[in-house]
Amino acid sequence: MKIEILTLFPELVEQVVRFGIPRKAVEAGVLTLSARDIRDYSPDRDRRIDDRPYGGGPGMVMEAEPLSQAIDAAKAAIGPATVIALSPQGEPLTQDWVRRLAREPGLILLCGRYEGPDERVMEAVDVELSLGDFVLSGGELPAMALVDAVSRWLPGALGHEQSAPNDSFAAGLLDHPHYTRPEHWRGAAVPEVLLSGDHAKVARWRLKQALGATWLKRPDLLAGLELNEEQTRLLREFIAEASVNGGT
Ligand code: 9D3
């Protein structure tokens, strides 16, 4: 996978491959990432790439020409690629999107600043993606989040863990709780089943907790799932225990 990030802050977004899974992906040779400074494509001596909005109003708009040239240069550098604009107007980024994008040979990530790009650049954009309904000051952090999420799906990037296909989001559920030593901490004990050594029992408990957490915290996720017989039974048990414990 080859990724080009088009940004006014190239030294910021380059940091994403210095840590964690994206770094491992680069070291494993399955990811190359480079950041391209949109200002390098300004025709002006002062490297300006923004101008005032037609129709008036506050803020500045990113000019079409430098953006378009940056996109062309990125395409020339990495070959076939999906052009993605990180934008508050975009479709919400989901794990489905992440998995789909991880199979592409190349991604060009366009990071907006100010009020965003001149609308005419959108012709060259395949998809607009958003991180959610909150206001950031630019597309750089969402682009870095996308690189991180996609890296997890590149073969060899996770090393021995191989947990991407296993993580709870793959099943559409929230994660189960986790515990580590000590067994007793400030009066709170680790659930006994986790000390039992009975792997099947532990797996059942974890599935039940994942179902319960999703039911409590993200009922919208649960509504989109078809639970099998065992899952239905485990969730019923969780709900019954939650109401006994005064949880509902
Ligand atoms: C305060 C400016 N807003 C006017 C009502 C519009 C606006 C323009 C540019 C809001 C945010 C931005 C910059 N944000 C992004 O580029 C962005 C973003 C976000 O703000 N939230 C969630 N996902 C994303 S992806 C890109």
Model confidence pLDDT, tens digit, residues 114-130:
999 999 999 999 999 99
Could you tell me if residue 207 is inside a domain? yes
Could you tell me if residue 161 is inside a domain? no
pLDDT-derived band at 136 (thresholds 50, 70, 90) equals very high
Answer yes or no: do 144 and 200 share one domain. no
- Which residue has the least CA distance to atom 1 on ligand 1? 135
Instruction: Say if ligand 1 is within 6 A of residue 130 CB.
Output: yes
Model confidence pLDDT, tens digit, residues 87-113:
999 999 999 999 999 999 999 999 999
Model confidence pLDDT, tens digit, residues 20-49:
999 999 999 999 999 999 999 999 999 999
Q: Which residues are 2's β-sheet partners?
A: 32, 106
How far is ligand 1, taken at its centre, from the CA of residue 34, in Å? 23
CA distance 154 to 156: 6
Answer yes or no: do 217 and 95 share one domain. no
Answer yes or no: do 69 and 131 share one domain. yes
Answer yes or no: do 89 and 140 share one domain. yes
Given a contact cutoff of 8 angstroms between Cβ atoms, the answer to whether 61 and 52 are in contact is yes
Whether the per-residue pLDDT at 2 is higher than 70: the answer is: yes
CA distance 214 to 223: 10
Instruction: Read off the tokens for 52.
Output: 């005032």
Answer yes or no: do 191 and 138 share one domain. no
Could you tell me if residue 20 is inside a domain? yes
pLDDT for position 171: 78
* 115 tagged catalytic: yes
Instruction: Say if ligand 1 is within 6 A of residue 132 CB.
Output: yes
| Buried-state track 122-143, b at ≥16 Cβ within 10 A, e below 16 | bebbeebbbbeeeeeebbbbbb
> CB under 8 Å to 114, separation ≥6 — which residues?
50, 59, 60, 61, 62
Q: Which of 23, 53, 65, 88 is catalytic?
A: 88
Backbone angles phi, psi at 127, to 5 degrees: -155, 145
Q: Give the CATH number for residue 230.
A: 1.10.1270.20
Instruction: Say if ligand 1 is within 6 A of residue 209 CB.
Output: no
Answer yes or no: do 128 and 18 share one domain. yes
> Averaged over 123-152, what is the pLDDT?
98
Q: Domain span at residue 237?
A: 184-244
Could you tell me if residue 170 is inside a domain? no
DSSP classification of residue 134:
S
How far is ligand 1, taken at its centre, from the CA of residue 160, in Å? 37
Model confidence pLDDT, tens digit, residues 176-228:
999 999 999 999 999 999 999 999 999 999 999 999 999 999 999 999 999 99
Model confidence pLDDT, tens digit, residues 191-205:
999 999 999 999 999
Radius of gyration of the chain (CA): 23
Domain total of the chain: 2
Instruction: Read off the tokens for 208.
Output: 């039940």
Could you tell me if residue 162 is inside a domain? no
Taking residue 39's Cβ as centre, other Cβ atoms within 10 Å add up to: 16
CA distance 101 to 82: 8
Share of the chain above pLDDT 90, in %: 92
pLDDT for position 167: 55
Instruction: Read off the tokens for 196.
Output: 């039992």
Answer yes or no: do 32 and 88 share one domain. yes
Answer yes or no: do 231 and 145 share one domain. no
